[in-house]
Structure 1
Amino acid sequence: MDEAVSAAAQAAARAGLVADGARALRVGENGVVVLPAAGALARVIPDESQFDHVRHELVVAKWLFSHDVPVVLPLVPAPVLVGGFVVSFWEFLANGGSADLVTLAGCLRRLHAIPTPPTSLLTRLDPFARFEKRVAAATMLDDADSVFLTELRDRLAEQWRRANFDLGEAVIHGDAHMDNLLQTRDGRAAFVDLETVAIGPPEWDLTLTALYHECGWFSASEYANFVDAYGYDVRTSAAWPVLRGIRMVRMTTWLAQSAENSFERETQLRHRLATLRDGTAPAGWTGF
């Protein structure tokens, strides 16, 4: 956490932003640091090989904004490299909080309706992105766990290749959930974490909300309102089983890489692996 704040402060100085009062909001795969004096949010990625990817994300944000998609805007046109960290600066929505599901559904409809750009701007969705990296980083996975997850991934990849989608192709967010759509008290909504924006089936963006409902994180009425606002229930898709399966694998490998030295995370990881093996997933899955 201290490393993320230090990297953000150094990068801010190079970019001409004031770093007074910098503090970490969260640290996961990437760090998120707020610089209140500059009205900026810094995303700190501990992998300098991601520099070009982050620079592309800034370009995509501007392109989405030009098509009236509600997004958070870059404050600095290019990322800053500091000691192996890639730091990008975005506007900080000081009074922003997670949007409700109806707002999420409406913003996804707007996103999915814009014209798809050339593949030179957006690549196609890779539903298994980071799988190998996450498994390799997950010290709490033993060999049997890694083999199980890899074989499950391979089966799902074959099903994905054969899947048919009702909604065609569109520009998708790639990681669409309430925490990745901020809403301010004056009603502005803005998608954040745009690194996963791609071309793919809109069903991919609807799957997390449906799966979170299965986990018990949303009530039946909350999910019904989401479906009504979007106009489609992804659980009616013939591709739902593979969409659901891939998302559960991603949720498990994401947790696995951060389960070391956390009893609660390790316990939940063991539960997720057990329920994936016996077919009862996502019963008993909790969030972090």
Structure 2
Amino acid sequence: MASHEAYEGLTEHTARRAMLAACGSAGLPSRPDTELLRLGENALFALPEAGVVVRVARSTGMADKVAKELAVARWLAEYDVPCVHPTDVPQPIEADGRLVTFWTYVPDSSPLASITTLATLLRDLHALPDPAFPLPTLDPFPVMRRRLAAALGIRREDVRFLAEACATAEHDFRALVASSPRHPVHGDAHRGNVLMDGDRPMLIDYEAAAMGPRAWDLVPTAIAVDRFGLPPADYADFVRAYGADVTQWHGYPVLRATRELGMTTWLMQSAQSGPAAEEFAVRMESLREGDRERRWHTL
């Protein structure tokens, strides 16, 4: 069957269609009004009555990435790093041109994880030995190029600027990674990827896991001081808990530029109108002007 991805992006409607089909194949209960937890690079649906979260990837072309996520979760569990486990359902399941996986459901009714909690989880992750299975070298640029190639409803000059900025950043990024020690990294380490099970924090979302500079996992929190209003005192707590300040590393400017392009191209996917379009305009203006202190906003 031809993939719907060629014609339809990952929207709530298309993700829900794949979720329902996959649950039917797996014998799991689901309803058309099943709760959508998150819609980003993947869509997550909650089946609390079955104790399952259903994760819908964008397409069947992400098979290697999906297999990596499952392997990383099992590796973290082996070393008792708190994480969400895949369920015993045979997986992944191909449904409606997408790959679907199933994870243990953890109700998240707690506040956002603290800065020091994230730092401690990253410190523990970075202390692990390399896994027995291969991880790819850290490379965020293919995802950015895919987003730019699929951009709809975005001004042509904005897409062109981002493409040129990515080309420049990619050259510097690859040179830095090639000259730096490589270790397992989470790849998308921010507090939104820490799930609180009561008082117990759990590191989630292993899609971007790779081998690269450990500094990559520290950059999002450092950026948050300038871009998202994180108090400098909170960042100091993060540094103390982790044991290093990434802003003092010579490679920080390169990693920051790359991360900011990634955040902007991610937002671009939903920036056709409304608050996302307004925030995208703010980010584009700051990038064009080289303004590293312009405040951005989470959506």
Contact 2:108–2:195 (8 Å) recurs in 1: no
- 1:82 and 2:124 correspond: no
Distance in 2 between residues matched to 1:278 and 1:121, nearest whole Å = 40
SS at structure 2 position matched to 1:99: coil
For structure 1, which segment, 59-68 or 36-45, has the greater mean C-alpha deviation from structure 2 after superposition? Answer: 59-68
State the distance in 2 between where 1:257 and 1:188 align.
33
Aligned to 1:183: 196
Correspondence for 2:50: 38
**Post-superposition shift, 1:282?**
4.6
Separation in structure 2 between the aligned mates of residue 85 and residue 123 of structure 1, nearest angstrom: 22
* Distance (Å, rounded) in 1 between the aligned partners of 2:224 and 2:118: 14
1:280 maps to 291
1:271 is matched with: 282
- The partner residue of 2:116 within 99, 102, 105 is 102
Secondary structure in structure 2 of the residue aligned to 1:14: helix
SS in 1 for 2:286: helix
SS at match of 2:221: helix
Indicate which of 137, 148, 158 corresponds to 2:161. Answer: 148
Range that drifts further, 35-44 or 52-61 = 52-61
**Aligned match of 1:168 in 168, 181, 189?**
181
Is the Cα contact below 8 Å between 2:21 and 2:96 reproduced in 1? no
Comparing 85-94 with 24-33, greater Cα deviation is found at: 24-33
Question: Which letter does structure 2 place at the counterpart of 1:234?
Answer: V
Q: Match for 1:217: what amino acid? A: G
Q: Which amino acid aligns with 1:277?
A: R
Given the superposition, is the C-alpha separation of residues 165 and 47 from structure 1 closer, same or farther in structure 2, using an over 3 Å criterion?
A: closer
Task: Determine if the alignment matches structure 1 residue 239 to structure 2 residue 255.
Answer: no
CA distance in 2, matches of 1:93, 1:275: 38
Conserved? CA contact 1:44–1:86, under 8 Å: yes
Equivalent in the alignment of 1:138: 151
Query: Identity percentage over the alignment?
Result: 38
Instruction: Normalising by structure 2, report the TM-score.
Output: 0.88
Query: Which of 219, 223, 248 pairs up with 1:207?
Result: 219
Aligned to 1:124: 137
- Unaligned runs of 5+ residues in structure 1 are none
- Matched residue of 1:129: which SS? helix
Letter in 1 for 2:169: L
Q: Name the SS for the 2:45 alignment partner.
A: strand
Q: TM-score, normalised by structure 1?
A: 0.91
Within 2, Cα distance between the matches of 1:253 and 1:270? 12
Q: Does 1:29 align with 2:41?
A: yes
Kindly indicate whether the alpha-carbon contact (under 8 Å) linking 2:91 and 2:100 is maintained by their aligned counterparts in 1: no
RMSD, aligned CA: 2.1
How many residues are treated as equivalent by the alignment?
A: 285
1:253-272 CA deviation, whole Å, 9 max, x = no partner? 11111111x22211211121
Deviation (angstroms), 1:243: 0.9
| Rounded Cα–Cα distance in structure 2 between residues aligned with 1:117 and 1:26 | 29
Alpha-carbon distance in 1 for matches of 2:13, 2:164:
38
Indicate the SS of the match to 2:296. Answer: coil
Partner of 2:27: 16
Structure 1 stretches of 4+ with a deviation exceeding 4 A read: 164-167
Letter in 2 for 1:114: L
The SS at the match of 1:238 is: coil
Deviation of 1:178 after TM superposition, in Å, equals 0.4
Equivalent residue letter for 1:101: I
Conserved 8 A contact 1:25-1:34 = yes
Does the CA contact (< 8 Å) of 1:8 and 1:87 recur in 2? yes
Correspondence list, 1:215-234, <5 A: 215-234=227-246
CA drift of 1:189 comes to 1.9
The Cα shift of 1:164 comes to 7.3
Aligned to 2:63: 51
**Structure 2 match to 1:115:** 129
User: Is the CA contact 2:193–2:204 (under 8 Å) kept in the aligned structure 1?
Assistant: yes
Q: Does the 8 Å CA contact 2:183/2:213 hold for their aligned counterparts? A: yes
Q: Judging changes above 3 Å, is the alpha-carbon distance between structure 1 residues 127 and 55 closer, same or farther for their aligned structure 2 residues?
A: closer
Paired letter, 1:46: R
Q: Aligned to 1:17, what secondary structure does the other structure show?
A: coil
Which residue identity lines up with residue 28 of structure 2 in the other structure? L
Structure 2, unaligned stretches of length 5 or more? 1-11
1:158 Cα shift? Answer: 2.1
